[in-house]
Chains A and B, each alone.
Chain A
Amino acid sequence: MQQEPLHTDWERFIDLLEKPEGERQALVAALPAEDQELFARLLQMKQDPLLTGALQLDTAQAWKRSFTPVRSMHWKRWAAAACFLIAGATGWFFWMQTRIEAPRYQNIARELAGHTPSAKVQLITGVGHTIEIDSTGRLEEQDGTTIQLRRGEVTYKVSPGLAAQDNIGLINTLIVPRGYMYTLALSDGSKVWLNADSKISYPVRFDKGERKVRIEGEAYFEVVHNTQWPFKVTVGDAEVKVLGTSFDVKAYGKNIYTTLVTGSVLFTPPAANPVQLTPDHQTFFNGSSGVTATRKIIAGDWIAWKDDDLVMIKMSLAELAEILERRYDVQVSFAEEKLKDIQYNGALHLTGNIVDMLNNLEQTGNIHFAAKDKKILILPANTK
């Protein structure tokens, strides 16, 4: 070990900087007091995210960008949704004659009181254990990884005692069934919001080359910015590559909607060329035809679900019914086909209570709901 005139042991410092936290704390405590102080400052400087972010920036590239005639991006954000509901009817008819087996369906308040989703949120760990998540608290897996649960969130904190290599390769899957939504914090600090009827598979600890996760259903991501460490989301046979940004991926059926809020992503459809997205744009991949199209949208409308807001833009009752089915874990059917075409425009905040929601929708005056167990029937308004 080399000694500086000031007795600072730099070799040791450099070695200490690389050690995992738990081990390092013990070793630092063994340093002389004045070195401890210097080391602490050094460590904080090394970890300072502002500095890290700044030093990553490609100044030469930025200069080229500035002094080339390209319009700078216009950032639009979604303003808080107005909580009003306007029903615009297309294809709305009075149906006096037909009545569908009414006796089987009863008053919704009575039938749906106390309705809860049938399954629970589940975590299937890399070593094959299935954990049902329905309570808060700290859960410790047998392999030593600590999973911290907070009211509706799952956070991973790797146990300090565990060496860095031990966890690479372990893939966990979080299953969010109908009736639930969940938030997950990944080991790099990125956050993922999962909508009802969705799944995410992710490594407990990301590998150094890239951060890769796989999803089904719908998820909104806020990815920690790191140009040296690409973040990729695979969905079906397609892939979204990310550079530190926030975006939504919706893939319930064969179609994939990728919506960019901030930053930059590259969407690669299966066996096709990648498409670059800019904020407030969305690519729609048609799973049946294989065609990908991009359009301008207001991103906020498409991520409103994560705050349990429903934004309807010329939304048909058929589509609304699908959303309610996933959100509340119910089954919806229509007394008449024509009702499926009723269109809605506006925004609503969804509540935990499905009966309140349905009552809200009934206010529009063109439909009426009845229920039996968890089956809901949509009838024309004047039906009793």
Chain B
Amino acid sequence: MQHHMQLSEEQQAILDGARGDTLARVMETLVRYGEIFGATTMVPVTSTYNHLVTSFGLKALTPVYELMDQLIQAGAASKQKFSADPRPLDPAVPSNILQNIVFKHFMYSKQDFYENQLRELGLMDPDAFTCTCYMDEVGNTPLMGEVLSWSESSAVVYANSVLGARCNRNSGIIDLMGSVVGYVPYFGLLTDEGRQADWVVEIKTSSKPEAQLLGSAIGMKVMEDVPYIVGLDRWLGELDEDARTYLKDFGAATASNGAVGLYHVEGITPEAVAQGRDLVRDGAKTYVIDDAELQRVYDSYPVVWKNPDARPKLCFMGCPHMSLNQLITWTERLEAALAAAGRSRVVVPTVFTAAPAVIKRFEETPYAVCLKAMGVIVSYICPLMYMNNPLCSTMPVITSSNKLRTYTTARYYTDDEILEQITGGAQGAKGGER
């Protein structure tokens, strides 16, 4: 192939087929991908681990598994071990016989096959299935300035923004290919220039904005641009566990409701702390967010339930997966809300999702028994993959995840509204059937 990128001797040799046709095609893919964005060089991937978005053995993705097979046959194992997104199935999550038939025979019939492929290619741990691989308990936490070949929009935006690592919004397959050759094209969010902000977002709300709603508003406004957010430090204080959890959910909403790969929060995120408003480009646009703007965004979400007044049959919390801190906080909030409502168990079947390693740690705390006693299921599942089952998508499912809302029929509510609904407090769960 003709190319303009300046490749090292090793990279050129791979492209020329010195290590076989399959690796040559991998390199061709990365070179062509990079050249579209003006990359003139490839740079080494420097993180310890990779993270892949594809974790599900979905029959519809058979062409992907065939491509993976080509890599395995060619001996093109990943140079890095990696984590992958959450598993799509967990028997602990409520599902009926028909839904299970669809899950196992029509949708995820290739799950075992695909997990075998992942192990052959370099899965870092048999249970390394989560979208929040950067949690301490999981152990795939990149350092500031490290170059990644990750995918999974919520993980990429967190790694870039909160950890200060450098990663483009890579697609599935491209993620693995970067790891196979050990290089990624140098462009976009890997460069200082690409990390400059195109927008200044001014937060002027009267209370701490809901993370998932704020992220949605910003994502829909700036799309793939980089926002520099001012006024949020007033509500977050410092980059502690609470703030990290907030930014996890906020970032996931910016990335799924728009295409944000990096944001800066003044006084909070590492590059904003180090460089301040020097990160903002000349001529950056301004977006002001007040209470009215958040309400406008909330009201704009379509309600796709057949019966908008249906009684919820399931509640999913944890897309992206919950942190340990979040599991504990929600246990405490549930306890208090149920006590206030005069109940001991949730009135809507409720699933909290988290990384297997986080669940393990949570189960070592006294909160786990308490949460279970309140009727809440803790699972490692990907709620999105659950909702993709057409027999599940017709169910009235509620969530406080704006990512889940975007990709499925699940209906978004704020955290407080979710708490009310699942505990039957205040207004209580809504009546009626769809």
**A, B in one complex:** no
B residues adjacent to A (C-beta < 8 A): none
